[in-house]
Structure 1
Amino acid sequence: MKIIPAIDIIGGQCVRLTKGAYNTKKVYSSNPLEVAKMFADKGFRYLHLVDLDGAKQGTPVNLSILESIASKTNLEIDYGGGLRTELSVSMVFDAGASAVTAGSVAVKNPTEVCSWLGRWGSSRIIIGADVIDGKLATEGWCSVENVDIINFISTYLSYGATQFICTDISRDGMLAGSALDLYARLLAEFNKIDLVASGGVASIKEVRELKKIGVCGAIVGKAIYEGMLDIDQLTMEV
């Protein structure tokens, strides 16, 4: 199972939110590159980089940070936030991302995302499913759509997608455990998807439980920054 540390960016700073609310922003570093280098030095191979400014504005904002991390580390970066057009995806790939996560646009404009899947393939286009009470949230989690998670994933499987990041917003940044029941239900329903768990991961035990139920990866953020997860122990799970 992949252990994927997260860096969320607002105003050029490394931050974390609670339940996706921008007014809960807590700054952990003013130098995201140094944080990324630390992850790389500790042996992590992957990075989940979220442009929260971009998510709010509807276009990538922090491409210079992506370019810096991509050029100065060996991390494989998936980038999300503000992707709405094929041009924006091209810009993100040109800046060094290995893959992109299609979040709001996957809910609101599936035709556009289908074109991305056709051009770049399912290995580089990850579908982001940000969930609250079984429904999909968009626009930096500021809006909840009447779209059911099961139907959403089923539709994208028919379009050729294979990779999904599922975040339970109610748990994100709460350090109270991830949505094990939700992930188990999704994997029981769709046994051929590559599912990455995100939101609430707070202990090594939980990382092992996620691995046991069959997720292919786990994104870890606040628990690292708050010192609840020992990074050296975490890298042993990679």
Structure 2
Amino acid sequence: MIFPAIDLKAGQSVRLYQGDFDQTTVVNADPVAQARTVNAAGLQQLHVVDLDGAKDGQPQNYATIAAIRKAFTGLMELGGGIRSFELAQRYLTLGIDRLILGSVALTQPALVKRLLAEYGPERIVIGIDGQDGYVAINGWFEQSQTKMSQLMRDMVQAGARHFIVTDVARDGTLRGPNIGLYLQLKEKCPEANLIASGGVRNLSDVQLLQASGFQDVIIGKALAAGKVTLPALAEVDG
């Protein structure tokens, strides 16, 4: 599946450069309308991140997220600042299909295990963001000493199946995806489904990822920059 991305900051759709809040570009002042264009192009998946929530550790764009969910038809996954069982329940009750748990996979593994046991691996997705092979947390403001591969192994043992893997150094740069990283992680955790995120430049990158065994891809900056179109992505969506 190909997931167009909508990153929310102060109610607007934006793109960051390498996760830097000081390097923000507004993509669309109306993210609800943006979500509708994804549907109109024939795509039925959407990746949404509450950037403010990831930074602050609590939801900051809830009303906008609710409006997107109401407007969008299809699978919607959401991440950013989901750090309690109660908030996870609230979002799932809202109709979010899949929750992305990032920082808490490292800092609150018991919470992630509880959510996986309650809702299963199709509704609870693990987000592993990192640089130089090590996990970054709290909106990428902190670099941990835990290897991405170790966190993935731990979460597989906890029952997780889907992992969104982002190379922070590639995100928002249009430098191409870090396929080498994905292949290394897949070799160490063959049972995991890796969802590629960060650095995708064009349709050729998507096709290269698919040919390398990674069918699920998240695309943000390339869409915002006009390097690829939604209809073109719909044609190769698998």
Scaled by the length of structure 2, the TM-score of the pair is 0.97
Distance in 2, Cα, partners of 1:43 & 1:187: 30
**1:199-218 per-position Cα deviation (integer Å, ceiling 9, x unaligned):** 00011111011001111300
Distance in 2, Cα, partners of 1:73 & 1:154: 33
User: What letter matches 1:236 in structure 2?
Assistant: E
Runs of 4+ aligned structure 1 residues displaced above 4 Å come to none
Q: Superposed, which structure 2 residues align to 1:136-151 within 5 Å?
A: 136-151=135-150
Unaligned runs of 5+ in 2: none
Aligned partner of 2:219 in structure 1 is: 220
**SS state at 1:161 partner:** coil
Unaligned runs of 5+ in 1: none
Aligned partner of 1:74 in structure 2 is: 73
Distance in 1, Cα, partners of 2:172 & 2:70: 29
State the identity as a percent: 34
Shift of 1:95: 2.0
Q: Superposed, which structure 2 residues align to 1:1-238 within 5 Å?
A: 2-238=1-237
Shift of 1:188: 1.9
Distance in 2, Cα, partners of 1:159 & 1:24: 36
- Is the CA contact (8 Å cut-off) linking 1:202 and 1:223 kept in structure 2? yes
| RMSD of aligned alpha carbons | 0.9
- Is the CA contact (8 Å cut-off) linking 2:46 and 2:76 kept in structure 1? yes
User: What letter matches 1:74 in structure 2?
Assistant: T
Distance in 1, Cα, partners of 2:69 & 2:8: 15
**1:95-121 per-position Cα deviation (integer Å, ceiling 9, x unaligned):** 221010000111111111111111111
Scaled by the length of structure 1, the TM-score of the pair is 0.97
Distance in 2, Cα, partners of 1:76 & 1:206: 23
Task: Indicate the larger mover: 186-195 or 217-226.
Answer: 186-195
**SS state at 2:236 partner:** coil
**SS state at 1:79 partner:** strand
Shift of 1:75: 2.7
- Is the CA contact (8 Å cut-off) linking 1:180 and 1:210 kept in structure 2? yes
Shift of 1:86: 0.3
Shift of 1:193: 1.1
Task: Indicate the larger mover: 166-175 or 95-104.
Answer: 95-104
Distance in 1, Cα, partners of 2:80 & 2:22: 18
For these two proteins, the number of residue pairs brought into alignment is 237
Distance in 2, Cα, partners of 1:194 & 1:66: 26
Distance in 2, Cα, partners of 1:96 & 1:65: 14
Distance in 1, Cα, partners of 2:66 & 2:75: 12
Shift of 1:147: 0.6
Distance in 1, Cα, partners of 2:190 & 2:207: 19
- Is the CA contact (8 Å cut-off) linking 1:6 and 1:49 kept in structure 2? yes
